[in-house]
Structure 1
Amino acid sequence: MTTINPKAPVLVTGASGYIASWIVKYLLEAGHTVHGAVRDPAKKSGLEHLHALSKQHPDRLKLFKADLLVQGSYDAAMEGCELVMHTASPFVISGFSDSMEALVRPALEGTRNVLEGANRVSSVKRIVLTSSVVAIHGDNIDSLNVPNNTFTEEHWNSTSTADHQPYPYSKTVAEREAWAINSKQSRWDMVTINPGLVLGPTLTKSSDSASMGIMKQLVGGMMFPAAPHLQMGLVDVRDVATAHIKAGYTSTAKGRHITSAGNPTMLQLGKLLRKRFGNKYLFPFMQAPKAMIWLIAPLAGMTRKYISLNVGYPTRFDASKSQRELGMKYRTTEETVCDHFQQMLNDGVIKRRG
């Protein structure tokens, strides 16, 4: 059991990110002091939401300069912290030529950098690591090898590589390295949060998370009128932030925790959106034949191998451990996807119709 002093500051790495911003917000609202690590605290744009939170909670949010690939750069931000939330890791699934440089090296070396910092900074008692369900499975076809097509925390992704599914590969090697470093010492413990696809409202308009890109594909016409039969774990960003905080302050928390509210298909998400917002937007309303999706995959920025191994396979994630051990109660998929789309309308990302 690890008891964290609620008066000690909490380090949140990648503090301006999609998930991390909600963690910072909730920590501040609960009365905690936060050390937010970002690449450039003096950056002119992209940190407005953190500055706004700082004004709302005077003297309780301090930004520190840190870089995943600069050894020791998190040490100053970590000083005095008993709890470290390590969220910083690149989340891109396209638009790069070298997956090792764009994804794997920052995820792996960044995790090593933060955890080795914890070995040096004596105040640290617990690290909560943001992992993913993609560290649990690589392709949906993997579900054929697990009972009831359902993944649990016992499973590990053993099929992704730097060439095939590089983002899942980056999360897998980073989490494995984290557990290896953790096992070599006994002063601090570690808990991981393994979310499904994270959707829901963002605190910053400048987020370039792949979650935003997937949502834009779903509602922007790329899947109209038909969506691939692609099933995934899905969870609200606000619930993922809550899970991190519960994992940090629940003394008995240990191990990995899948965070997922359900396992919808893209078509089911489209139907939920149409139910709320009507037929005036380009939500999918039918299922596309796999052969057609396979044929046009390169035009949509996907490989045909990805389509072959993921479309049409039943895939589920068991989040009962997070409910049982962290007391998680998840928002419905409908609330998550509709709140996200409403924000896109409010921000002008999608033009209002009718």
Structure 2
Amino acid sequence: MTEINPDKPVLVTGGTGYLAGVIIASLLEKGRDVHTTVRDPDNREKLKYLDAIAAETPGSIRYFKADLLDADGFAPAMAGCELVIHTASPFIAHVEDPQRDLVDPAVKGTRNVLAAVDATDTVKRVVLTSSCAAIYGDNSDIAGMPDRKLTEAVWNTTSSLSHQAYSLSKTLAEKAAWEMVEGQSRWDLVTINPSFILGPGINPHASGESYAILTQIGNGTMAAGIPDFRIGAVDVREVAAAHIAAGFTPQAEGRHILSGHDTGFVEMSALLRGHFGSTYKFGKSTLPKFMVWLVGPMINPGLTRTMVSRNVGIPFLADNSKSRSALGVTYRPLTETLTEHFQQLIDAGRVKPA
């Protein structure tokens, strides 16, 4: 049982990130004092969305300069905090050097943050943003799991630097965190393991895979046919709420799958088309798997034939019962998440009518 004093500041790492922004907004709305790390606290343009929320809410925010690979950068931001929410980690589908661009920032960054926790005697709990990617690498892995669905008891054993390097980075980072917490008894660790996060963020011009995929579904990229990628999806607001609940629920422990819907690109396109009609270039037909396998690597080098073989047309199923019972998460309809996120893209001019 870990009691966190709500009057103490909360550190959220990676403050300009998609998920971090929604977590910080929620904390500010609750009147919390927030510390957050960013690469350049003097770049007011990048901080303007957080500043705007802070100006209209009862909470307060302080910015601290830190980089994931700087071992000494997090201690000043952590001073006086009892709760640390570590969200900062790269989420990039295609990189030139997976070790340098994904694994090192995720693993070394986690170790650097937790080393600062070890050195900061006020910290009592760390909530780490992990991922369902730390539980499985490909949908074909799920078929061999108990009840053919993800649970918190399972770990990803199939990802590598050459295949699903992002999933490898999340697996190694979470394992590093559990190894470090076992070496002491002052602070505890709770992890949040989301599936694919969607929903409107605080910055309508944010980059990242969540915005990229939804843009591709609506801008005509998949108009000729949609690959049958099966994924889990969860609203960013539910993931943010889960982080905060994990921080302030005394009995919270262990891993928590955050996944509201077992879905896929085909269903997502159909839901958006049902709401927005033919105004945008949503695909209607499903590409046969052999076609995705044949032409996918030529269109997108990241869409390897191994990835197609192990994922396209294979169901994604996840057990989210622990998030409901332990953290009180209630999942909103997928249609609401998708339409509100896509409307944000429209309002920002990021997708155009057909």
1:180 aligns with 2:179: yes
Partner of 1:7: 7
Q: CA RMSD in A?
A: 1.2
TM-score normalized with structure 1 length: 0.97
Structure 1 stretch 279-288 or stretch 137-146: which is displaced more? 279-288
1:27 aligns with 2:55: no
Question: d(CA) in 1 for partners of 2:350 and 2:290?
Answer: 31
Give, in angstroms, the shift of residue 281 of structure 1.
1.4
Partner of 1:137: 136
Amino acid at match of 1:90: P
Give, in angstroms, the shift of residue 205 of structure 1.
3.3
Task: Note the 1:98-117 alignment, pairs <5 A.
Answer: 98-117=97-116
- Post-superposition CA distance 1:49-72 (Å, at most 9, x none): 012123224771000101100012
Question: d(CA) in 2 for partners of 1:334 and 1:72?
Answer: 43
Question: d(CA) in 2 for partners of 1:168 and 1:87?
Answer: 15
Partner of 2:42: 42
Partner of 2:92: 92
- SS of the equivalent of 1:11 reads strand
Task: Note the 1:1-354 alignment, pairs <5 A.
Answer: 1-57=1-57, 60-94=60-94, 96-298=95-297, 299-301=299-301, 302-352=303-353
Count of aligned positions: 352
Give, in angstroms, the shift of residue 147 of structure 1.
2.7
Amino acid at match of 2:213: I
Question: d(CA) in 2 for partners of 1:71 and 1:264?
Answer: 39
Question: d(CA) in 2 for partners of 1:199 and 1:83?
Answer: 25
- SS of the equivalent of 2:330 reads coil
Give, in angstroms, the shift of residue 44 of structure 1.
4.5
Amino acid at match of 1:163: S
Counterpart contact for 2:205–2:348, Cα < 8 Å:
no
Give, in angstroms, the shift of residue 204 of structure 1.
1.1
Give, in angstroms, the shift of residue 182 of structure 1.
0.6
Which structure 2 segments of 5+ residues have no match? none
- Post-superposition CA distance 1:274-324 (Å, at most 9, x none): 111112211121211001111111213411111111111112111110001
Question: d(CA) in 2 for partners of 1:63 and 1:40?
Answer: 9
Structure 1 stretch 209-218 or stretch 263-272: which is displaced more? 209-218
Counterpart contact for 1:46–1:206, Cα < 8 Å:
no
TM-score normalized with structure 2 length: 0.97
Structure 1 stretch 49-58 or stretch 141-150: which is displaced more? 49-58
Give, in angstroms, the shift of residue 45 of structure 1.
2.8
